[in-house]
Structure 1
Amino acid sequence: MGTPQVPLRTTLFHSERSGLTYRVPALLPVPSGPTLLAFAEQRLSPDDAHAHRLVQRRGTLTGGSVRWDAALVLGTAALEQHRSMNPCPLHDARTGTVFLFFVAVRGQTPEAAQIATGRNAARLCCVTSQDAGRTWSVARDLTEEAVGGAERDWATFAMGPGHGIQLPSGRLLVPAYTYRVDRRECFGKICRTSPHAFAFYSDDHGQTWHHGSLVPNLRSGECQLAVVDGGWAGSVLYCNARSPLGSRVQALSTDDGTSFMPGELVPTLPETARGCQGSILGFLAPPSSRPGDKGWPVGSSMTPPPLNLYASGQESPEQGSGDTQGGGRLGRTERREDGPGDRGPGDPGPREPSPGSGLHGDRRDWAPQLSRPSATLTQSPTWLLYSHPVGRRARLHMSVRLNRSPLDPHSWTEPWVIYQGPSGYSDLAYIGRTPEGASTFACVYESGARVSYEEISFCVFSLQQVLQNVLPGPGPRGQGGKPRAQCRPS
């Protein structure tokens, strides 16, 4: 396979001597072009209690590169006397509206304090844009509408962080998690809470919002969603979540996120000692990998069909903190010490852009080619990409993994390290395909030389590069070393 390649990167946000720090990135491609919207939290210090406002940079594909506008503080994405956190962007392909969800937390109330007292200080908010992120509406507080009476049983909650998705039905989904109060009174104190992933959803293009049921069993927190092909079971919603249980948790939904089946551990996706947010992205598999084909060999010259560009690579609809029962910290309570000291298809032939080319280094004109929505895309198999640091004891070495059989938790490849060094939160996006037919992705991620929160970086890579640099995983295994069947919803 040769020496692993490393994509060229661009720094979008960099910490300042004053202590100003940028954390928790999110990325959203918006047609046409596409325009790339990158978001982050702006904090007065690395501590989450010092989070302040959300910031944005707009990127435009021009020729063979991305041209980024200056950073902009989103002044309307805020509630008075609250700090804005966990950016979670989402694009409605039918209306053209861009939603930016975030959680507004009262004052400097830490998440750990909310969990300890069972008193939620978070509000579910969003702003919208009709011009691809040039201007934004005033903030809308959706807590009473979307959370309602459940707030009594939630010590706190938050979005994603990272991108939301839109289903073929048109339903909008915002990944989220809460700390549920399992037992409130224990000698006058909160006795037991547990983190659970779930989703907020809207079936009327964002006019009204609701919350779905929680992943019922395993402790699961910060999460992202993707639509995957379930074979005879049809398309299912896939959730991949952070967990303090040593590896990631995945859960499936057959009712579009209204509820989830019991989650299961993903042993091939290990967590860091205290856990870390990760990004998940579903995308249309190369044509020769679909049922009835003999597989897609690297080096073939087969060109994929045009891919639609929608938020987070999903097919067109037209088409932090601590668990009070132990197990490490989980969620958005990211303190100053987090980092290396944290305890706790495309055309695979010769026309594929070489390492260092593509959006950054290629001198040829390059731009994703978009197609009109196609109803047949919703019936095609999907693959998954996943980004997360590979370090077990600390947040080190941002990596990408691939899964060709998304319902099988044992089918993840070994990681391709795309950044050597301290790294943390990340977000993946599908940004189109090259004229040669290469599916192309982008990633924003926390990075640094000494600690993971020194800067937020951006890079671009193709599916061909992924296939050239990942090694096969251990393969599906069951008890006694026997092959394990794919997990399918019943």
Structure 2
Amino acid sequence: MRKGRGAWDPVVSEVGTERRSPLTLPAPPGMEAPRVPGRTVLFQRERSGLTYRVPALLPVPPAPILLAFAEQRLSPDDAHAHRLVQRTGTLAGGSVRWGAARVLGTAALEEHRSMNPCPVHDARTATVFLFFIAVRGRTPEAAQIAAGRNAARLCCVTSRDAGRSWGGARDLTEEAVGSAEQDWATFAVGPGHGVQLPSGRLLVPAYTYRVDRRECFGKICRTSPHAFAFYSDDHGHTWHRGRLVPNLRSGECQLAVVDSGQAGSVLYCNARSPLGRRVQALSEDEGTSFLPGELVPSLAETARGCQGSILGFLAPPSSKLRDKGWSVDARNTPHTRCLCPGVQKAPEEGSGDTCGGCGPGVMEGCGDGGNRLVGPPPAFLQSPTWLLYSHPSGRRARLHMGIYLSRSPLDPHSWTEPWVIYQGPSGYSDLASIGPTSKGGLTFACLFESGARVSYEEVSFCMFSLREVLENVSAGPLLPSHVGKPVERCLPS
């Protein structure tokens, strides 16, 4: 926040503004320091103790208008969450002008605290749905898990004027959760953005702590976190729950549609996990159910885990990649895997396909002539959809907000090293695509928790282009040399 500005005054953020954090590390002698995007603080901890956490970011076309949400808490503690707040940004000429912050008074239930903003836009009806959970009193999540008694309600408010006004809260718990609530110790949405599929289906990412064994000397014996999605096929008139990711423990999550070429489109879920690494799971039925999840070796969690954001976008043409200097190195074979969703079929005799019918970009030892990929794969391996991922890059603590890129989303080994866009304490984040700006090229935005001493001092906003991502991430995927030991439980926030 610029000196002299109030926390709620309009501010402007620009693409490419060089405003380095005071915590940016100096470059080694003879080397240029990595570029850091300009940063605008949208919400800042106040002297009264009011704290802003758990950001969510949603672009609303056609401008686009940017809607930035966060929890307003009486203190940093989850149990002191209070209401949701919003700032609205207008994009013009490569910069964003932000309006004053306001509390969303209708996004609340009486005697409940509002948490986990999760917006989704229905492009066909020009309606914004802001999902959240309303938690009874000061009941913390850990107490719900220990007792096996849910205190959360599934709620949403809607806006038909791009967030300028909001209707009253709808309690969708009975409709969308129904009888499953008796087997859930607690649940939550997102946090962060939802998605709309080409079919029109609206999807809201969610997770629950399922009670696996209830009676053990009068106490809950075992619960496990599982990611899933709520969905609507009638433009938000009715909502339903999908089935849980069946195997690995998975928590806070986000979703993206991945067009994998010949393998068709699948829904991709990336989730927080207590297993030391992120978990990914695919859905072939638009989020109604998920195939078994798998660990993502190249995306390590922090010691206690942290929420992360996922964003899918159309890959640039291969000609543009060549213009940026990406090449193929013919020394080693690529490390890729056979990850076609669904049951793999045995190859037909004489077909020459030794990978059981995998599509391009997901075959091991097939057809690349012994070439090792450096940077994006050649056209026959390149996925039509790429993914961005934001998450703190520190292993032991929530430090250094990183942007990661995957050019082959079905391959869990395909993620690059991070481009660190903020040096210092960092936490939850949300990514958005805001299209080409006046300067040209695809532009992204990230809303993330940040601070000088702890990650919940402020919520910051920055923008960067795809060109900047390609210039700052590593040329190829990284496999971590060491992944920390799993911790016992995933504890959101």
TM-score class, shorter: 0.7 to 0.9
Structure 2 residue runs of 5 or longer lacking an equivalent are: 1-30, 327-381, 481-493
- 1:219-298 matches, within 5 Å, as 219-288=249-318, 296-298=322-324
Give the 3 Å change call, closer, same or farther, for CA 80–411 of structure 1 in structure 2: same
Structure 1 counterpart of 2:294, which letter?
Answer: E
Name which of 176, 183, 205 aligns with 2:235.
Answer: 205
Tell me the alpha carbon deviations over residues 265-320 of structure 1, each in whole angstroms, 9 at most, x when there is no partner.
001000000000000000010022xxxx79544169xxxxxxxxxxxxxxxxxxxx
| Counterpart in the other structure of 1:159 | 189
Give how far 1:434 is off.
Answer: 2.8
Q: For 1:320-363, what per-residue CA distance to the aligned partner results, in whole angstroms no more than 9, with x for missing partners? A: xxxxxxxxxxxxxxxxxxxxxxxxxxxxxxxxxxxxxxxxxxxx
Alpha-carbon distance between aligned partners in 1 of 2:55 and 2:475, rounded to the nearest angstrom:
29
- TM-score norm. by structure 1 comes to 0.79
Q: What is aligned with 1:81?
A: 111
* 1:63 Cα deviation from its structure 2 partner: 2.9
Identity %: 83
Equivalents in 1 of 2:423, 2:175: separation in Å?
44
What is the CA–CA distance in structure 2 between the aligned matches of 1:12 and 1:166, rounded to whole Å? 27
Pair member with larger Rg? 2
In the other structure, the counterpart of 1:326 is none
How far off its partner does 1:472 sit?
Answer: 3.2
| AA matched with 1:459 | C
Distance change (3 Å), C-alpha of 1:437 and 1:296? farther
CA–CA distance in structure 1, aligned partners of residues 117 and 424 of structure 2: 24
Do residues 22 (structure 1) and 48 (structure 2) align? no
**Does the 8 A contact of 1:142 with 1:209 survive in 2?**
yes
Counterpart CA distance in 1 for 2:472 and 2:34 is 6
Secondary structure of 1:464's counterpart equals helix
* Counterpart Cα distance in 1 of 2:82 and 2:49: 12
**SS of corresponding position for 1:147:** helix
Query: What is the aligned length?
Result: 395
In the other structure, the counterpart of 1:103 is 133
Matched, 1:138 2:164: no
* Preserved contact between residue 408 and residue 476 of structure 1 (Cα < 8 Å): no
Which residue of structure 2 lines up, in the alignment, with residue 429 of structure 1?
A: 432
- Asked if 1:33 corresponds to 2:59, the answer is no
Superposed displacement of residue 475, structure 1: 5.8
Residue matched to 1:192: 222
Match of 1:322 in 2: none
Per-residue CA deviation, residues 32-84 of structure 1 (Å, 9 max, x unaligned), is 21100000000000000000000000000133321100000000000000000
The reply on whether 1:465 has 2:491 as its aligned counterpart is: no
CA distance in 2, matches of 1:380, 1:471: 18
Q: Where does residue 450 of structure 1 map in the other structure?
A: 453
Instruction: Give the equivalent residue in structure 1 for 2:388.
Output: 385
Contact 2:298 2:412 in 1 (8 A): yes
Does the CA-based 8 Å contact 1:268-1:473 persist in structure 2? no
Q: In structure 1, how many angstroms separate the alpha carbons of the residues matched to 2:134 and 2:80?
A: 13
How far apart are residue 476 of structure 1 and its match? 8.1
Q: Name the CA distance, whole Å, in 1 between partners of 2:292 and 2:252.
A: 17
Higher relative contact order (CA 8 A, sep 6+): 1
- Matched residue, 2:28: none
Preserved contact between residue 93 and residue 437 of structure 2 (Cα < 8 Å): no
Conserved 8 A contact 1:162-1:279: yes
1:155/1:459 CA distance change after superposition, 3 Å: same
Whichever residue aligns with residue 169 of structure 2, its letter is A
Residue in 2 that maps onto 1:91? 121
Give the SS at the match of 2:69.
strand
Partners of 1:476 and 1:398 lie apart in 2 by 19
CA distance in 1, matches of 2:271, 2:133: 18
**Partners in 1 of 2:438 and 2:108 — Cα distance?**
41
Structure 1: which amino acid aligns with 2:110?
Answer: E
Question: Does the 8 Å CA contact 2:383/2:408 hold for their aligned counterparts?
Answer: no
Counterpart of 1:195, as a letter, is P
CA–CA distance in structure 1, aligned partners of residues 261 and 239 of structure 2: 30
CA gap 1:197/1:296 in 2 versus in 1, 3 angstroms: farther
User: Following the alignment from structure 1 to structure 2, what is the Cα–Cα distance between the partners of residues 87 and 79?
Assistant: 14
Equivalent residue for 1:400, pick from 400, 403, 406? 403
Contact 1:37 1:59 in 2 (8 A): yes
Residue 455 of structure 1 aligns with an amino acid whose one-letter code is E
Deviations 1:210-242 (A, max 9, x none): 000000000000000000122322000000000
Which position in structure 2 is the counterpart of 1:124?
A: 154
CA distance in 1, matches of 2:411, 2:298: 10
Q: Is contact 1:432-1:441 (8 Å) kept? A: yes
Segments of 5+ residues of structure 1 without an aligned counterpart are: 301-378, 478-490
Are the equivalent residues in 2 in contact too, given 1:286–1:296 (CA < 8 A)? no
Deviation of the 1:140 alpha carbon = 0.2
Q: Go from structure 1 to structure 2 and tell me whether the alpha carbon gap of 1:2 and 1:284 turns closer, same or farther (over 3 Å shift).
A: farther
Give the deviation of 1:17 after TM superposition.
1.1
Q: How does 1:280-359 map to 2 (within 5 A)?
A: 280-288=310-318, 296-298=322-324
**2-structure distance, mates of 1:32, 1:80:** 35
Aligned-residue offset at 1:4: 1.4
Indicate which of 415, 418, 437 corresponds to 1:415.
418
Aligned residue in 1 for 2:336: none
With 63-72 and 273-282 compared, the bigger mean Cα shift is at: 63-72
